[in-house]
Amino acid sequence: MSKERIANVNKNIVYEAGKDAFKKLNPKVMARNPVMFVVEVGFFITLILSIYPGVFGESANREYNIAVTIILFATIIFANFAEALAEGRGKAQANSLKKTKQDTKAKLIQKDGSIKIVDSFQLRKGDIVLVEANDLIPTDGEIIEGVAAIDESAITGESASVIKESGGDFSSVTGGTKVISDFIKIKVSADPGESFLDRMIHLVEGAKRQKTPNEIALGTLLVSLTIIFLLVCTTLVPIASYVDVTLPTATMVALLVCLIPTTIGGLLSAIGIAGMDRVTQFNVIAKSGKSVEAAGDINTIILDKTGTITHGNRMASDLIPASGISQEELTQCAVYASLYDDTPEGRSVVEFARKIGVPENALNKAGSVGIEFSAETRMSGTDFSDGKRLRKGAVDTIMKYIEHQGGRVPAGLKDACDEVAKKGGTPLVVTEGNRILGTIHLKDTVKPGMKERFEELRKMGIKSIMCTGDNPLTAATIAKEAGVDDFIAEAKPEDKISVIKREQAEGKLVAMTGDGTNDAPALAQADVGLAMNTGTNAAKEAANMVDLDSDPTKIIEVVSIGKQLLMTRGALTTFSIANDVAKYFAIIPAMFMLAIPQMKALNIMGLATPQSAILSALLFNAIIIPLLIPLAMKGVKYVPMSASRLLKRNLALYGVGGVFVPFIGIKVIDLLLVVLKVV
């Protein structure tokens, strides 16, 4: 999914959010947010007073009641707009995913081997389909035969194709992607409406979005504060009556609305929704808000090696000449033998040659015929018009080939191949005619930038552990090259689960990234399981997040977003509660200072009149919600630091700031009301 299709906010999203904000005025919908429901009840009370000023037996002041009603209505609309805007962005992301779904035709393989063209929605789980070059893959499935380059840009936004083949961890394909070359046979793994893309669209649209434990706890706190202030405001009426002070109903409603945590109450839902949407912007689909939130508290991350830390495809890393053969001759012949080899290994030989300085003119195919790699021959090569024949392939295959050609195996070749194998690599032997020229060392290479990314994790206080089935020597080499904190060699699926359980037993939250079927149990056990989209369906089903780009380092962004989510919620809660201090000094003196002159001492802001003080506080209470929407949507910037330092920083910024900003804002609004002669 390209970032161009996931714009944070555009005119259409804002327009739709504006319409939804009014639709959410339905009391049944508002009741899900108790804080804002209280505001809506207050709005209806003041609306009645605006139409029938003396209905509650108090002196009529229609203009004042209308002003309070309008401000309360704006407060509700602003809060609804924040939630609708966050939901609208999720809907836009879902629509971009829907664009990849097409009513495609499928080549269904019948039991007698014949091909029948059917619509993709007619396919059922277990069906076998043939997909050839330039065909769209009709639905999700597992490759059971063939190797093909697949364009997944419709989902990931990445233009580079990926190689997928039957068996292993790169056999899963997604409906809507396109085969670029060769052909594959796919066993359908999902019935109509149950594909990976269908489920992801359903999740992004938020149909099953549930509140997280942290959000539920905060919601309980807000409800408790609302009940407390409701009791306080209720008891103020008889107390005021005792001292012969009449408190207008509209003023009591304004006081209640200003004292309850309306700011965080109006933004709480938007913060949670925006957290899930932010991971979607990084091409990660979160199956629940709980997983995003848990990512913010991760202590340990477990990573599978193959396809996660490393490319998964074996790539040329060294060329080892046989006795009596020069490095230049081996390099040249290895390149020529790979010119027509379109496998990842073959392409890596050519790429390796480029890196070590082989000129482009040496890659000329003129006057040559390619011998493509096949599973049967297990070798590939190039025949030239001058009779020169170059081959490369598996050790045992080349040995038989040389014997058939009447050649001999040079001394030291077996030792060189054994050394490559000991390091966890794969040796390929290069020949020219009946001569063996040397060995190509293929190894699963570490993805670029991994060391720097693991350093970022360390700064966050997160320990990284690599799990691999390789021998200890190979595992140590990869671990050092990647920069992980620890590794477990010769790991079986149950070993990965044991590591996760051990860390969890110590009170740590654990994240796991992986792509294979053997990773599925560990992904399910982890607090945060991030599966690669290139991986198997089993891995994607077990995880609670799926990375469409198949970049294991994406967990760093996920962790940052999780921390952002927690920090944003905490920061805005602190700001909202701190706001109440300033609003207290604005409204309480205004309510009593006419009847009790001594209360003027508390009017430290020097607000003009009781009515202007109340309206100023109420206006600020409404205006601050839309002003904080960008922060709720984007999240508080996360900078790696200790928890105590982070707490002090947020208290200083959002606690102290939450006290002083309302003082300034309320005073400015009061001056404007006086200048405009509103009061």
Q: Residues with catalytic annotation?
A: 304
Residue 354 annotated in ligand binding: no
Residue 44 annotated in ligand binding: no
Amino acid (1-letter code) at residue 470? D
Give the pair of three-digit tokens for residue 64.
């004042």
Secondary structure (3-state) at 622:
helix
By C-alpha distance, which of 441, 419, 443, 444 is closest to 430? Answer: 441
617 backbone dihedrals φ, ψ, rounded to 5°: -65, -40
Tell me the sheet residues that pair with 77.
Answer: none
Measure the CA–CA gap between 506 and 488, rounded to whole angstroms: 18
Residue 140 annotated in ligand binding: no
Residue 374 annotated in ligand binding: yes
Residue 119 annotated in ligand binding: no
Measure the CA–CA gap between 372 and 607, rounded to whole angstroms: 86
Strand order in the sheet with 128-132: 115-119, 105-109, 128-132, 183-188, 141-145, 172-173
Distance, C-alpha 535 to centroid of its chain: 17
Give the pair of three-digit tokens for residue 334.
């290895």
Measure the CA–CA gap between 98 and 176, rounded to whole angstroms: 10
Residue 391 annotated in ligand binding: no
Kindly give, in sequence order, each residue whose CB lies less than 8 Å from that of residue 35, ignoring residues fewer than 6 positions away. 222, 223, 226, 260, 261, 262, 265, 266
Amino acid (1-letter code) at residue 500? I
Residue 341 annotated in ligand binding: yes
**Can you count the helices (H) and strands (E) in the chain?**
23, 22
Instruction: Evaluate whether 573 touches 260 at the Cβ level (below 8 Å).
Output: no
The angle at the Cα of 41, spanning 38 to 46, to the nearest 5 degrees, equals: 125
Instruction: Evaluate whether 136 touches 176 at the Cβ level (below 8 Å).
Output: yes
How many CB atoms neighbour CB 606 within 10 A?
10
Longest dimension (CA), the chain: 118
For residue 136, the 8-state DSSP code is B
Measure the CA–CA gap between 402 and 406, rounded to whole angstroms: 6
> Taking the C-alpha atoms of 154, 159, 165 and 167 in order, what is their torsion angle to the nearest 10 degrees?
-70
Residue 513 annotated in ligand binding: no
Strands (DSSP E) contained in 482-539 are 486-488, 510-514, 528-532
By C-alpha distance, which of 549, 640, 556, 560 is closest to 301? Answer: 556
**Based on the number of CB atoms within 10 Å of its own CB, is 581 exposed (0-12), middle (13-18) or buried (19 or more)?**
middle
Q: How many CA atoms lie within 13 A of 658 on its CB side?
A: 23
How many CB atoms neighbour CB 359 within 10 A?
9
Residue 392 annotated in ligand binding: yes
Binding residues: 341, 345, 373-380, 392, 515, 519
Binding residues for ATP: 341, 345, 373-380, 392
Binding residues for Mg(2+): 515, 519
